[in-house]
Amino acid sequence: MPQPFVPPVVFGVLNVTPDSFSDGGRYLDPSAAVGHGRALVEAGADVVDVGGESTRPGAAPVAPEEELRRVLPVVEGLVAGGVRVSIDTRRAEVADAAVRAGAAIVNDVDGGRDPALLRVAAESGADLVLMHSRGPAARSGDYADVLHDVAGDLRGRVDAAVAAGVPRDRLVVDPGIGFSKTAEENWRLLAHLEDLGLDDLRLLVGVSRKRFLGELVAGPAEDRDGVTGVLTALLAERGVWGVRVHAPAASRAAIDVVRRMREAA
């Protein structure tokens, strides 16, 4: 019997930052940000992932108070409108304030390296995304075997989160596509997600508009939404739990195509 199709959860990206690589500076005004968050939902996002710090290499670090000032009104505005919100932060105090304001998911690009953030997740009951990254000092191409190394690192982060009291079924893992990884390493991870050996955990994947897609599509980052949609279809076929995208319409359409093909099969 073929497995029933479970469509991936679509996370819509909302960067409330002056300097994110594809949408930096557009949504610094909270009402513009909330408006864009609602538009992401209308375009097919199930969750809006609100971030107040750019993860672009070389981006200026943001003080926690400034990060909070950027994201909190946006989280509050979206939650008030019934939107499911994820907070994209590495900071325990930002995660704490956001879940108190109603965010359902903490998305940590540092993979829960800060024990205080793990405590927030454990105590709040929020889901926790542990994304793979070796931090800003890591360099692309540093992996002996990217699959083996990312899987091992993620397993370590999962064990730390469980030891801190976050139940395994509230964890989501993410291979951290584009985070100090070469294009070759990104493609290898995408081609071998099943071989990470983390099948009992939900898997989130973020490829949207990332630089490694520039080898396929020249031009500005927005022009990569088409190939992002194609990758969403391939990831949906392979049963990933979630995708994180800037332009949900292309990914929603891709998921609908996979669903129709499955129904007809």
CB of 50 to ligand PMM, least distance (A): 10
Which of 15-23, 63-71, 76-84, 141-149 is the region at the interface with ligand PMM (rule: CB under 6 A)?
A: 15-23
Would residue 244 show up in a list of annotated catalytic residues for this protein? yes
Polymer length of the chain: 265
55 binds ligand PMM (CB under 6 A): yes
Amino acid at 264: A
89 binds ligand PMM (CB under 6 A): no
Residue number with CB closer to ligand PMM (43 or 262): 43
Would residue 181 show up in a list of annotated catalytic residues for this protein? no
CB of 201 to ligand PMM, least distance (A): 13
Residue number with CB closer to ligand PMM (67 or 88): 88
- Contacts with ligand PMM: how many residues (CB under 6 A)? 18
CB of 261 to ligand PMM, least distance (A): 26
Single out the catalytic residue among 90, 157, 181, 244.
244
CB of 135 to ligand PMM, least distance (A): 14
180 binds ligand PMM (CB under 6 A): no
- Phi then psi for 127, rounded to 5 degrees? -70, 155
Residue nearest to ligand PMM (CB): 206
134 binds ligand PMM (CB under 6 A): no
How far lies 155's CA from each of 15, 163, 194, in Å?
28, 12, 14
Contact 88, 49 (CB under 8 A): yes
241 binds ligand PMM (CB under 6 A): no
88 binds ligand PMM (CB under 6 A): yes
Amino acid at 238: R
Q: Collapse the DSSP code of 130 into the 3-class scheme (helix H, G, I; strand E, B; otherwise coil) and give the result.
A: strand
The Cα 42–Cα 151 span in angstroms is 35
Total Cβ atoms within 10 A of residue 32: 13
> Roughly how many angstroms between the first and final C-alpha of the chain, as a whole number?
11
186 binds ligand PMM (CB under 6 A): no
What is the DSSP secondary-structure string of 186-254? HHHHHHTGGGGS-TTSEEEE--TT-GGGGGTS-S-GGGGHHHHHHHHHHHHHTT-SEEEES-HHHHHHH
Q: What residues line the site for ligand PMM (CB under 6 A)?
A: 13, 15, 20-22, 51, 55, 88, 107, 109, 129, 131, 174, 176-177, 204, 206, 244
Active site members: 210, 244
